[in-house]
Amino acid sequence: MKADPPVVAGARDIDILVYGATGFVGRQVVAYLAHHAEGWRLRLGLAGRDRGRLERLRAATGGTARTAAILVADSNDFDAVDAAVGRSRIVVGMAGPFAWYGGPVVDACVRFGSHYVDITGETVWVRELIDRYHEQAAARGTRIIPCCGFDSVPSDLGSYLMATHIRRTLGVGCAAVKAYFQLRGGLNGGTLATYFDLHESGEAKASRDPWLLNPTAGRRPPADRDRDPGGASYDQDIGAWVGPFVMGFINTRVVRRSAALHQQWQQAYGPDFHYQEYARFDPPLARLKATLITDVLATIDRAVARRFTRRLLKPLLPKPGEGPSEHTMAHGWFRTELLGFAAGGRRVVGWIRDQGDPANRITAKCVGEAALALALNAEALPGAPGRGGVLTPATGLGEVLARRLRAAGMEIEIPAQ
């Protein structure tokens, strides 16, 4: 980590910098911000490795992006990264795999005091950020908020809203939240590259720790309900067949960090709070679908864990910068059913749902609104203005993000009406 830079008055001429703007999801985030920042006089910046691609993106996007600053900053060029981050109030990290490209950007954000959000699901890398930067960012009131895409906003924000509702309306703590996902969408090359890197780097094993992102004091031996689900089963709580949710090994760690941080701040979700999530399967043939899809996903994971199979699969899959068609993204959707258990046994049901491909369109909406929350609603954020650290969507953005997402068309019903 470099020495702290000098503070230059008036140097922050960029409100929101999108770093990795020309990637597949990066382009959608730029388009989202260009549309939704219009009228707020926010100055956008587009950063990446190739000036020509950045200029073509700016010209094609229009809106607020027409006047966006162009900054060429390869992640290996630390001076260029510093120059870009030092001009920016908020940085949106879009260059993945983040374990390859994200470190210098976060390092600069902590040194310059620039707030940061990204769409990573790389929990081992997030653990490294916590160990390296949490205390310094907390002392400075700088919010470093990974996992602000579809991983892990619905899970993290949903569980936070459920726990808050139970505490406020029932007057007791929240003992547990269970989330059940259904979705339709596609994958982009960046997500696949990250998944392959998880196995190539050997980090897949470390990512299995249920308490990976918790403060050290918040870790405990996992109970059965804390362990990642391993197969299809019938869930009596909702009367449906369920299986492991493909992103559950990411989202559950983020939610548990949120709960642990709130407990440190004397705002506990509830005594001995637990969180788990699943993929839900409806009739007809719900049991068969749950079993078949669970087995297929497990087979794919075992195959990708082998170097030989990875070499065979990579040429057949989308490359970084590639992704699903406009039709696929427009017709995608997700639905999350939330079941909250109050201390004492009462249950509360909630929903989060939206139209659009979760990995791409919903991710762009989530991280875009996270950046806008930091830019436009700073005084209303939880713990504002002094809260900082390596945070989560719930602890860093909280109900402000929920209000913004509702206004942007996401249905968030806590409790369900």
Q: Is residue 407 part of a domain?
A: no
pLDDT in tens, 230-256: 999 999 999 999 999 999 999 999 999
Helices 24-36, 363-376: axis angle to 10 degrees equals: 50
Under 8 Å between Cβ of 132 and 310: no
Strand partners, 2: none
Q: How many CB atoms lie within 10 A of CB 385?
A: 9
Q: Are residues 120 and 190 in the same domain?
A: no
Q: Is residue 7 part of a domain?
A: no
Q: Are residues 146 and 159 in the same domain?
A: no
Q: Are residues 107 and 244 in the same domain?
A: no
| Averaged pLDDT for residues 171-180 | 96
284 burial level (CB within 10 Å; 0-12, 13-18, 19+):
exposed
**Does 198 score more than 50 pLDDT?**
yes
Last residue of a domain, one of 358, 390, 411: 358
Q: Are residues 231 and 185 in the same domain?
A: yes
Q: Are residues 119 and 262 in the same domain?
A: no
Q: Are residues 233 and 295 in the same domain?
A: yes
Q: Are residues 345 and 206 in the same domain?
A: yes
Report pTM. Answer: 0.94
Question: Which token pair is 136?
Answer: 């310094």
Query: Cα(266)–Cα(285) distance, rounded to whole angstroms?
Result: 46
Q: Is residue 1 part of a domain?
A: no
Specify the range with the lowest mean pLDDT, choosing from 4-8, 337-341, 409-413. 4-8
Q: Is residue 411 part of a domain?
A: no
| Averaged pLDDT for residues 313-322 | 82
Q: Are residues 190 and 253 in the same domain?
A: yes
Q: How far, CA to CA in Å, does 412 sit from each of 104, 145, 226, 350?
A: 35, 21, 25, 8
Nearest to 390 by CA among 153, 161, 116: 116
pLDDT in tens, 323-354: 899 999 999 999 999 999 999 889 999 999 99
Q: Are residues 192 and 160 in the same domain?
A: yes
Query: Residue 88 belongs to a domain with what CATH number?
Result: 3.40.50.720
- pLDDT value of residue 233: 97
Q: Are residues 56 and 162 in the same domain?
A: no
Q: Are residues 41 and 187 in the same domain?
A: no
- 172 lies in which domain range? 153-358
41 burial level (CB within 10 Å; 0-12, 13-18, 19+):
exposed
Q: Are residues 290 and 310 in the same domain?
A: yes
**Does 161 score more than 80 pLDDT?**
yes
